[in-house]
Structure 1
Amino acid sequence: MNCTAASFPFPASSREVHILKRGERLLEPDVYRTVVDGTPAVVKDYRRYRGTPLSLVARLLVRREARVLEQLKGWKHAPALLDTMGGLALGMEFIPGSTLSAGVQVGQEVFDQLQGALLRLHAAGITHNDLNGTNVVVSAGVPVLLDFTSAWRSPRWLRNGPIARQLRRSDMKNLVKMRARLTGQPPSPELAQMLAEPGWVRTIRSAWKQLYRRIKRDA
């Protein structure tokens, strides 16, 4: 679907807008592709919340993701930040390629790169927290992480805490699942042991499942 650039908050140099996804759920942005100052771009647009109390939350989401992308500036495994466009829209570099969810055939070297990218991301105190095939695009043989909306930057004094460790573990578990599904390679025994959930996580998950079943039964 194409729309005129006049209906979106772009510089005058933008000409066409190609809708990629309409935001239908709460605080889900419209996502579209365009050209900004001659650069192919993808924009996440929260403008429909302008003038509402949720605009404060939308601005926070834009600012948080922009800060993560700014920290990753120049890194080949993340798109470049272009602009925040009035605080309610985030413009970033368009990465050509196919997502892992599209069933693209990739070899072990792509997942080796992706694992190295995650380790470097974690070393910088950042966890992605939404790693799945839709959020990884392979461009010229290089995996690029997309959608840092759920990403979390831990301050140095919290990076070795239990929550930060669990978030890193969750990222790696999602990577292992994708690798096993697309290449058939299971995790090594050492990696499987490293990714095993601690008892406190299993306890919380079990308690939540029991509560959810009880709520669903009584509803």
Structure 2
Amino acid sequence: MFTGIVQGMAQVESCQADGRNMRLQIRFPQGIMLNQQLGASVAINGVCLTVAKMEADILTFDVIDTTLNLTNIGTLTPGTQVNFERAAKMGDEIGGHVMSGHIMTTVTVRQVEQVKESYHLRFAVDNPEVDARRYLFDKGYVGLNGASLTISDIGDDWIEVSLIPETLRLTTFGLLKEGDKVNLEIDAHTQATVDTVERVLKQRGIVLP
């Protein structure tokens, strides 16, 4: 389980193909992974990955082909910066919202707008294979590259978030440009509520537009 409060940025050290899978090495800020354990979970750009090897500040993860196809992990190259969060512990403050690290789809940066201290990112939500739009609401929660964010504006095929300077400092959002792919995770409670309502309405013969 994760909270969506990104703890900082790490750098991809290497990406090695392993059949259809990938062995991913990431260098973390000095000392941030002290007392980490093999088999522990770490969110990389919001994707829950398992620690397979540890060497000082470099951790190794094995990424299966399904994850590579579904997320932006497959696009990473050495030197790329990623968001990370260690798994939450019992009793930790949930400053964002509960996240599983299970990505639904990717969205594409459509527009980057900065006016003084105001920073806005607009994402196209237009994957025909995975319709995430029915789970997205104005002022609702969304997980983007592992960060718990609030949707500040929404259209038929896009969402927009507004970022404060502290979020830009701690995450890779300030590095994004138009066309970049970003991982999207839907809030589990929202997903369960929407699916339940749709199922009940269908049973009653009510079809939503």
Higher gyration radius (CA): 1
Per residue, is there more helix in 1 or in 2? 1
Greater relative CO, 1 or 2 (CA 8 Å, sep 6+): 2
Q: Looking at secondary structure, tell me which structure has more strand per residue.
A: 2
